[in-house]
Amino acid sequence: MKTWHSYEGHTERIKAVVETGLTGQEKDGNPMPEEMSIWLAKLGLFYGVPFSYLVPDNRMLPLEAMRFFQVDSNWAFYLQDGALSIGRNTSAATAHDQAWSQFVCTQVGRERVKVRRILKLQSSLQNENLSQNISGFLLRSAIVEGWSGLEVQGFASTEESQTPLPILRLERVADNVLLCLFAGIVECVELKEPAEELHFGADEQADGSYTKMLRGLDVGNYPLGTPLDYAQSVTVPFREGAGRVLDIDKLVGVLQDGLSKAKALGPHFTAAEFAVEMVESAQMGVFYHETGDAGEKHAAK
């Protein structure tokens, strides 16, 4: 004759078996295959999650906007639970999953940091104790599409000399939308142009022209590389009928004239002096997540 047990009693018996039947090594190790824990870790980082689940209305992420957010741990847990519920059609299976849920969550939390390194074919670091809190931002902007190698750093504080938060995911989820997830609560984000090499550049003006701020050449009162007084600048000339092709001969003359008027021109103006005037470092934008009486605000500099 079969003996039927209540669901609650069955659950408690399975939990007791899990708690008493595992050795110390098993408790500290992987309660499930690594392939499965990695898959669940990727799910917790929204791989495979439809974008409409993250941003249900386009008006929540308009053009040229950044939105900070923090991942709800309960939402993430039930996202994982939903994935594990496939084939769960008996009370015994439900009780089994409940008994193992804490071990599964712990293992998946440890695997999150491995996901990005696995995708980038990098080795994982050992003994990484990362925050289980996940935060991040969504950026919808033309710079996402224009700079495929955009560099990102996030910080838990706006104070200087802060260690960057580990990045769990950094990916373009659309041509002009960037998704970034951090291990920890981010308060400040730095976006930089890809610093791949030194390059020349000029500043675009509202009327479509380009200007270049003059720098000192260690002549007179202007140390090498420092901007001249009052941010003196010159207009950058282009070749006629050649679109955005610089007229280098005219540009050299314009730079010399500007430096001469400021009494910052030496006896020679070679390729080295030209490079000092024209070189540009990677540009950087800083965004702050601020929460006050008026709600969430975003600032950049």
Q: Which domain holds residue 105?
A: 7-56+74-115
* Rounded Cα gap, residues 135 and 13, in angstroms: 37
Q: Which residue ranges in the chain fall short of pLDDT 70?
A: 1-31, 96, 99-100, 117-131, 161, 196-198, 231, 291-301
* Rounded Cα gap, residues 296 and 289, in angstroms: 7
Q: What pLDDT score does 23 carry?
A: 45
Predicted TM-score of the model (pTM): 0.64
What residues form DSSP beta bridges with 66? 139
Cα torsion for 196, 197, 198, 201, to the nearest 10°? -60
Q: What pLDDT score does 123 carry?
A: 53
Please report whether residue 238 resides in a domain.
Answer: yes
Q: Which residues contact 69 (CB under 8 A, 6 or more apart)?
A: 135, 136, 137, 138
Please report whether residue 147 resides in a domain.
Answer: no
Please report whether residue 145 resides in a domain.
Answer: no
Q: What pLDDT score does 128 carry?
A: 57
Please report whether residue 271 resides in a domain.
Answer: yes
Please report whether residue 230 resides in a domain.
Answer: yes
Q: What pLDDT score does 180 carry?
A: 93
Rg of the chain in Å (alpha carbons): 28
What residues form DSSP beta bridges with 183? 134
Q: What pLDDT score does 26 carry?
A: 47
Please report whether residue 40 resides in a domain.
Answer: yes
* Rounded Cα gap, residues 61 and 168, in angstroms: 22
In the sheet that 177-183 helps form, which strands lie side by side, from edge to edge? 65-70, 134-140, 177-183, 167-174
Please report whether residue 100 resides in a domain.
Answer: yes
For the chain, how many residues are written? Answer: 301
35-86: pLDDT as tens digits = 887 888 888 889 988 888 888 888 899 999 999 999 888 888 888 888 878 8
Q: For the chain, how many structural domains are there in total?
A: 2
Please report whether residue 216 resides in a domain.
Answer: yes
